[in-house]
Amino acid sequence: MQLLLLQHLSPKTQNSSLRFIINLILILSSLCIVIYLFLSLLLLLHTSNSITFSSSASSSSSLSSLPSTSLDHIVFGIASNQNSWPKRKNYVKLWWRPNQMRGCVFLDDDDNNSSKSPQNDTVSSLPPICISDDTNRFKYTYRGGLRSAIRVARVVSETVALNHSNVRWFVFGDDDTVFFPENLVKTLSKYDHELWYYVGTNSEMYIQNRYFSFDMAFGGAGFAISYPLAKVLAKVFDSCLERYPHMYGSDARIYACVSELGVGLTREPGFHQVDVQGNIFGLLASHPNTPLVSLHHLDLTAPIFPNMTTTKALEHLIEASKVDPHRLLQQTVCYDRWFSWTVSVSWGYAVQVFSNHMFLPDVLRAQRTFSPWKRGNALSESYTFDTSDHHPDPCRRPTVFFFDKADSGDGDGINSSYIRMVHENCTFDIVSPKKLEEVRVFSRKMELDIKQLRAPRRHCCDVLPSSSGKVMEIAIRECKEEELIYMHS
């Protein structure tokens, strides 16, 4: 048809029409190519996103399919020396579990022939002994310090060199560091052990952190290094030590080397350096809302329970932890409507009853029952946590009931009791909490999942009508969604 029409047109007109048709065909072809390329690009992007999502989902599924972190996945490196080990080993006995734990206590000498190969160590109440490598080749220039800091720092690389299998975390501490194993495992389970992590805490004293570093994990509190970071750190550690002869301690050297690898401190407030002296009741009774992982310097502080030795007091606290480890020291606050009292329960340790209603933030502050680590500096009494005055008059302080015992009832129900261990010579009336002799606390075993660990929420409690004027009963429970912990008018 087009040819017939063209035959009736002049040659000039025919040429013009042909060019028009050819150009139109070229334009349409180009447009089709552009549309094709555009659709292909969209398809490619969609496929790429699908692959990325699928890969990410597969990775997440792979991680979730792994067995949860347990004590079997942790290797301990404990720093000690020939002089302190005979006494300090009693602390390690409190928490060491020979059938579940792996690692070594590193000593500087073997005068008593006490070393054992970790592979041949017989089952006992203590970890095997390892003798540290000689460190004389390293310089130490800190005036007045101890060059043993180099040997202690190398506990990190020497623990890795034990070459244990199926390791997720290496945990390090001193011979007077008391760990709470279930809470250590639970805390580390928050983190992906396949990534580079350096987990620990600072000192309680501002001046200590200012002098050493706010980003350093203090060694006495204990700290954890994930397996992949520890393997790399062990390879470069000696070369790193050469650059820091001027530093004082072992933990400063470890921090410096971890920093050179570009890794910062992940803070966990459940580790405790305890750089204070005297009575640490105020510190323990206002524990952060996180599992208790460790305590340190306990031979330099007063026993944590009255009328007990330091070791017996620790054993008593550990007995509570066996019943409900995740709830240990967790602070719960409620208010008595009848007598206008404020009640603070630090589970497994103490109950405080204040004779008046107090705002919650005031109750959560740690009472300064303790003394500074060192005096003589304007900042020596500056702490890294909230504190409140401890009233000089015992009769105006809260009435304190210390943990006595805990029993698991049917299911996951737990009954614990707290009694007066110290009686002040005070006069009081019928509305005073000092008339009380015992506090009974009812709760359920706390089982923390990952969401609760990452976004913790304090529990609530209720003061129950009591059958005896000398006994108070408290029930701890999870708070309702919109529930507030506040004073009742």
User: Tens digit of pLDDT for each residue in 225-234?
Assistant: 999 999 999 9
User: Tens digit of pLDDT for each residue in 290-318?
Assistant: 999 999 999 999 999 999 999 999 999 99
In this predicted model, which residue has the larger pLDDT, 239 or 338? Answer: 239
- Phi, psi of 174, deg, nearest 5: -90, 170
CB 346 within 8 A of CB 287: yes
pLDDT at 51 over 70: no
Mean pLDDT of 27-44: 53
> Which has the closest alpha carbon to 268: 186, 330, 323?
186
Task: Report DSSP state, residue 415.
Answer: E
Give the model's pLDDT for residue 424: 84
Mean pLDDT of 362-370: 97
Q: What is the mean pLDDT of the chain?
A: 87
pLDDT band, residue 383 (cuts 50/70/90): very high
- Please report the sign of the dihedral spanned by the C-alpha atoms of residue 36, residue 42, residue 47, residue 51: positive
Give the model's pLDDT for residue 61: 43
416 forms beta bridges with 406, 441
Identity of the highest mean pLDDT range in 44-53, 57-66, 308-317 = 308-317
Give the model's pLDDT for residue 411: 74
In this predicted model, which residue has the larger pLDDT, 45 or 361? Answer: 361
pLDDT at 17 over 90: no
> What is the C-alpha separation between 354 and 342, in angstroms, rounded?
5
Give the model's pLDDT for residue 36: 53
Cα distances (Å, whole numbers) of residue 449 to 186, 187, 226, 483: 9, 10, 21, 21
pLDDT at 262 over 80: yes
> What is the C-alpha separation between 46 and 112, in angstroms, rounded?
70
Q: Which of 124-128, 238-242, 465-469, 478-482 has the lowest mean pLDDT?
A: 465-469
| Continuous segment of H or E residues that includes residue 451 | helix 450-454
Residues 6+ apart with CB under 8 A from 232: 196, 261
> What is the C-alpha separation between 26 and 20, in angstroms, rounded?
10
pLDDT band, residue 66 (cuts 50/70/90): low
Q: What is the 3-state secondary structure (H, E, C) of 313-331?
A: HHHHHHHHHHHCHHHCCCE
pLDDT at 488 over 80: no
pLDDT at 118 over 70: no
How far apart, in Å, do the first and last CA atoms of the chain sit?
99
> What is the C-alpha separation between 431 and 341, in angstroms, rounded?
9
pLDDT at 374 over 50: yes
> Which has the closest alpha carbon to 341: 434, 214, 241?
434
pLDDT at 440 over 50: yes
pLDDT band, residue 63 (cuts 50/70/90): very low
CB 188 within 8 A of CB 448: no
Task: Report DSSP state, residue 240.
Answer: H
Mean pLDDT of 199-215: 96
Give the model's pLDDT for residue 196: 98
Grouping H, G, I as helix, E, B as strand and the rest as coil, residue 122 is coil
> What is the C-alpha separation between 130 and 202, in angstroms, rounded?
28
Instruction: Please state whether beta strands 471-477 and 438-444 pair in parallel, antiparallel, or not at all (unpaired).
Output: parallel
pLDDT at 408 over 90: no
Instruction: Please state whether beta strands 276-278 and 370-372 pair in parallel, antiparallel, or not at all (unpaired).
Output: antiparallel
Q: Global pTM?
A: 0.84
> What is the C-alpha separation between 459 and 412, in angstroms, rounded?
16
pLDDT at 116 over 90: no
Compute the C-alpha angle 61/67/70, nearest 5°: 140
Give the model's pLDDT for residue 195: 98
Q: Which of 65-69, 130-134, 257-261, 438-442 has the lowest mean pLDDT?
A: 65-69
CB 488 within 8 A of CB 335: yes
Cα distances (Å, whole numbers) of residue 462 to 285, 352, 459, 473: 19, 14, 11, 9
Task: Report DSSP state, residue 94.
Answer: H
Residue with token string 């990775």: 59
In this predicted model, which residue has the larger pLDDT, 479 or 39? Answer: 479
Cα distances (Å, whole numbers) of residue 297 to 222, 319, 407: 12, 20, 30
pLDDT band, residue 202 (cuts 50/70/90): very high
Give the model's pLDDT for residue 377: 82
> Which has the closest alpha carbon to 349: 303, 403, 296, 394?
403
